[in-house]
Chain A
Amino acid sequence: MTVSDHPRGGFWSDTGRSGLGSWIFSTDHKRIGLLYLFATFGFFLVGVVLGLLLKFELMTPGRTIMGAEAYNAVFTVHGVTMIFLFILPGFPGAFGNLVMPIQVGARDVAFPRLNLLSWWLYMGGALIVLTSLFTGNGPPDTGWTFYVPFSARTGTNVSLAVFGVFIIGFSAILTGLNFITTIHRLRAEGMTWGRLTLFTWSLYATAWVQILATPILAITLVLIMAERMLGTGLFDPGRGGDPLMYQHLFWIYSHPAVYIMILPAMGAISDIIPVFSRKPVFGYKMIAFSSIAIAAAGSLVWGHHMFTSGMSDRAVLVFSFLTFIVAIPSAIKVFNWVSTLYKGSISLEAPMLFALSFIILFSIGGLTGLILGAAATDVHVHDTQFVVGHFHYVMFGGTGFAFFAAMHYWLPKFFGRRYREKPAVIAWALMFIGFNILYFTMKVLGMKGMPRRYYDYLPEFATLNLVSTIGSWILAVGLVIMLVNLIRGLLRGEPFEGNPWGGATLEWSIPTPPPTENFAREPVVTHGPYDFTAMKE
């Protein structure tokens, strides 16, 4: 991280300390944010490579490059990496840390040392997960859901991987309680709840889910380890246990966890769209409220992952009904974003392009979610490629594209240099096209009946699978261009100064890159986060 020829200024150099130690032992929320960014994005790239391998295997029927066992291991590791190492910690860890304390007008988070501990726990957990791949009897092959009874019996290295995820859960809990305390206690003078940015609101909702849902995952993982190592038999039907209780516990966490993934993304989009529309956000209160509503309603609907598991019919009806409730706050957000665009002075720069494609892809993902949430149609497409297509639209098309938008929007602020616009737009176009080819064909394949999690398929699915694989290559090319452009730009590009996009939130009012404690004097906030007229005066 040493920058020799061009001193960056701000928090990069004003502590007078440099070298690796000044980063990995720093309690500065910006340094920790960047550490999270590098780590989570690194794991994202690992996950991408594994995903490309999966698609390569599915290019032709029969064995292409790997057999059934290897395919099981690769999709498990792809899922575990993407979910636990990238998408769950990614947004709160990287952009939550970088931006949120500045947006509320604080010098740092409420518990800076705890924040550093969170990162260390995350890295420790990630290393344990990685170790589990290369030790014992081979990488876990259970799928990221670790379903019993298979996970209790398989000889692969499930215990260690589960332990790593447990540690990462601890890290998420600490981040969550840190953010809630920060938002409650460290808001600057004049920063009322009604003046918080929507990104901060979404992180607040996210943090609550992290706190209230993650412990359930923790106990579930402990029980898996006990099942394997002590033979407790709590989920073993042969000894009176009930595998469905495992599924309940797992999804009590893992469904709300979906909202840990998507809520901060929605928040970032809510911050970006008004700036590039030069118009105050439409329905501020409703967007803020809908973040809380999504977190609350999202905690009631876990059973829709279990419609075909043998759960009671009454529970299926209840969960199916509750699932539709989540659609309401989600739709509130989409309508408000579109209304913000209406009659705005839209400037189509890279962050905005990613943000706009987020709206489209998330809408497609969300609407296909309703097909899965309705019990009757779910039975038809359950455990097919349709499901895989659906959640990639939400997770990758939603959170992933929002993550890219946030990278293009906020990173120049912290690096003091900017990327080139044209390659960014080309990369965006390639990724958007490749993404839709890759995942839309998956949905079609699922409707036609191709199941998920098999390395092989019937010959009639061959053409569409080939198309899907080609889509994955286009997406990968776009990703590489984006990455090269970002790295080159942020390290050696044109200087990025001031407030070129005219954002009205607090992070745009301080020097670029921000100094270590952000504000020379504690700011006094006099206008809302999207009040562009007040800013001009």
Chain B
Amino acid sequence: MKKYDYIVVGAGCAGLSAALELAVSKRKVLLIEQHNIPGGCATGFVRGRFEFDPSLHELCGVGSAENPGGTRQIFNRYGVDIEWVEASDCFRVISKYSDGTDMDVTMPSGIDAFIDKMEFYVPGSRPAMLRFFELMQNIEDGLAYLSSDEINPADIIKQFMPMVRSGGYCTNDILNALGLPEKAKDILSVYWSYLGVDMDNLSFLHYASMVNSYVKFSAYFPKHTSHDISVRMVERLRELGGEIMMGCRADEFLFKGDKCYAVKTNLGTFEAEYGILANINPDIVYGKMIPKNLVPEREKKLCAARKRKLGARMFTAYFGLNKSIEELGIKDYSIFLPQSSDSVAEYNSLRRISTNNYSIFLCYNVHNHGFSPEGTCVCSFTTMFTSGTDFDNLKEEDYYRLKTAMAKKFINSLKEKAGIDISDAIEEITVASPYTFARYLNSPEGAVYGYETREWDGIIARTIEMTMGLDYKVKGLYPVGTNGVRGDGYSSAYADGQIIAQKAMADFEKEGK
């Protein structure tokens, strides 16, 4: 039997990133994946003459080649070359302001342009918006400083007090403290759904990191679906000497004493000299993949404290249309279609099927003309469920009817709100539900966001925990993914994979000394 330095179980975004970080650091890596394609959510599928991206809307922190953001820097470090397309507008949102008047705004990327456009829609917002971005810059610099090698408390006090002062609060608290006009707050609340937590409960640092990155670095997406990202990562791993096994499902982790040394799969048992990184929800790892007596007390408590409160479960309808964007009158890449700009009410309405009237419309051809054959285009609608209740006891025949009913609701809402009617142009349609995501990801409830990053379980709290070394889990076994320090989202998962891989290597080196 071959022996590897490290084994990564699960080729989701975090698993792929972890494997590459280990491989560029010259470790001998085996990456195993239960599915026959890599990427988890970052994948693609074909129907008829169309190719679809099941989940990625826009990737955070890519930036241009000249001015790379954090995500692009990770890919650069790994030597992974992706053809990116820039989505030059941040978003269009058609909804209602909190005073009940109609909202239809399109926000550009670039800080100056964003502030100018906000001033156009909400006259008088400029001073507060300037402070908003100034604060976000302070946070960006502060977080970078905190992850540097030498941290001096005096420097923090001198330079990063705005970050510290805002750091404990949720997003709405800070938007209020900045004195932003109501309408500006309404517009800024659009992004809440990307993180799946309403603005009353969403950590401001988390929100700020994402918004700052989108506005500053613009949003990008891969030219050939996110399957392209995942496959290029796999191929790069191959080049670096890593091994990959697809259709390889981990059943359990094996231990010598209290140290994890191997993983048992349908294709045999594989041993790792130094550590195993599991791109699997920790509750599944601790609940059924390791001996009960080795589950740390703290992990049991953490799991209990989370009360199985998972983040968003996606529900997406994908359409291959036999008309071009010009024929259909589609001009925007991404249109948010919430009922209101009250994120708390929206969050609550997404608990149940009957009250869920949310969707984000996306048309892949808008910035990427060759995405589908001439004279056609591809679009999708996504909503999410903030509770799994309605999917716990759905009758089979009702499930298929629900898919059609939801797709109809999406189509009608686009028609009513944006005046775009796709109903006669549908050549292909596929609908993915929490069951579909559960099928392909095996994540709890098919949730793509891991546990909700709210209150005490936000990303800042998780990061501090790791910095303090309190997150020590099982010897030789490291969970990576959306339940990690960076929370959910593609860019967070890539970052988490890298952080944990580095930690795994550092742990070994410490032990080695």
The finding on whether chains A and B are genuine partners in a shared complex, rather than unrelated, reads: no
